[in-house]
Chain A
Amino acid sequence: MITAGIDVGSKNIKAVVLRDGRIAGEAVGSGGFEQLARATELLKQAVRAAGCATADLAHITATGAGRTAVAFAHSTVTGVTAGARAANHLFPGARTVVEVGAEESRAVKTDGAGRVLDSAVNEKCAAGSGSFTESMARALGMTLEEFAVRSTQSTARIPMNAQCTVFAESEVVNLIHSGVDPKDIARAVHDAIASRVAAMVRRVKLEGEVVLLGGMAHNPGFVKCLKENLEVETLLIPDRPELADALGAALVAADRAGAAPGGRP
C-alpha cells in the first residue's frame, strides 16, 4: 500500500510517500503564502521520487498548522498525534517525545505504540520554538550552523533575562557590546530555549527514553543544552527528524486506508 503524509508548517512544507511502512519518497520546500499550490507541488515531487503516481496513493493525510489548506488531502491529523505515531514507529517503546520545529514545540507522553497519553504544546509564542534561535543567530551575525557549533564550545554559563524574542534580540546586542564571548551568548540562547522545552517535558513527566524530533534536532547546541536540562545521557534522534510529522501523517494515512477498504472514504 502507498500513502502520503504532508506537513504544512507556517515556514516549510514536507511531503512523505510511504510504501509498506517505509519512506519511498520525500520533498521539503518553503511554504509561503500559496500553501495549497506549494503543497501540491511538493507532493508531486515526493511521488516522483518514490517512482509512482499520485493516483497510486491510497490515502493522503495532512498535518501541521496549515493542514486545513490542503484541499486534496483525504483526512487531517494534529501534529501531536502525527509526531507520536512517527516517534513510536521509529523507536518502539519510547514514552517521551519532544518535538521542536521552527514555530512550535511540544512534549508528548505516548503509550509506546504511538498513542498520545498527555501533551504540552507551545505554538503561539516565538520564544518557545526554533525561530527564537534563528533570530538570535541573526542578531549575532552568524549562520545557524555556526551559531549551533559555537554554542557547544562554551564552558561559561551566563543567564539570559529576556523571555521574549523581541526583547532577547536587544539583550544579545547588549551582551555583544559589553564584550561577552559570542560562544557564551550562543550557549545562553540555546540554554534558554532548552529550559523552556524541558519545562514542557516536566508537564508530561519524563519517562523512559526520550525521542527528539523536529528541525531543532539537527542543532548540536540545542541538543547538548536539552540533555543538560532534562538530565539525560542520550536523546533518540532519527536521521530526518524534520520529516517526523509528515511521516506520522503518512502512517496515519495507512491506518485509515487499511480501515476503509479502497482507501477513499
Chain B
Amino acid sequence: MIAHYGYQDAEGEFFITIDTDRCGRCDGKPCVAACPRGVFTVEEDPYGDTVVAVDDRRRKRLRYECAGCKPAGDRPSLPCVRACPWGAMTHSW
C-alpha cells in the first residue's frame, strides 16, 4: 500500500509517502528515531503489517514540523529518508 500522510492547502501539497509493503519488512524502523520532531509512529495496518505512519497530531502541520530539516537555502538529505534502509519513504515538497 502507498500511504500519503499530510495535506494540500493554498501553500501547496505537503505529503510524506510511505510504501508499506517495503516498510513492513523493516524490523528496526530507524526512521522513527531519526526524526527530530517525533513525527512518526509504528502501528499495525488493517491488513496485518506493522508499519510506520505519521502521528495524527502532526499530520495536519507537517510543513511546520519538517521545517527544521528543510532549510530555505541548501537542502541536505532528510534524516528520515536517509535512515530508511528500504527506500520506502519520500516527501512531496
A117/B11 contact (C-beta < 8 A), A195-B64, A202-B67 known: no
B72–A120 CB distance below 8 A = yes
- What are the 4 A-B residue pairs with the smallest beta carbon separation, nearest first? A199-B64, A124-B10, A199-B67, A118-B72
Chain A: residues with Cβ within 8 Å of the partner, total of 21
Partner of A117, one of B67, B70, B73: B73
CB proximity to B under 8 Å, residues A118-159: 118-120, 122, 124-125, 128
CB proximity to B under 8 Å, residues A160-217: 161-164, 195-196, 199-200, 202-205
Chain B: residues with Cβ within 8 Å of the partner, total of 15
Chain B residues with CB under 8 Å of chain A are 9-11, 57, 60-61, 63-65, 67-68, 70-73
B64–A164 CB distance below 8 A = no
A163/B60 contact (C-beta < 8 A), A122-B11, A125-B9, A125-B10 known: yes
Chain A residues with CB under 8 Å of chain B are 109, 117-120, 122, 124-125, 128, 161-164, 195-196, 199-200, 202-205
CA distance in complex: A120, B68 (Å):
12
With a cutoff of 8 Å between Cβ atoms, the chain B residues found around residue A162 in the complex are 60
Closest CB-CB distance, A113 to chain B, in whole Å? 18
A118–B73 CB distance below 8 A = yes
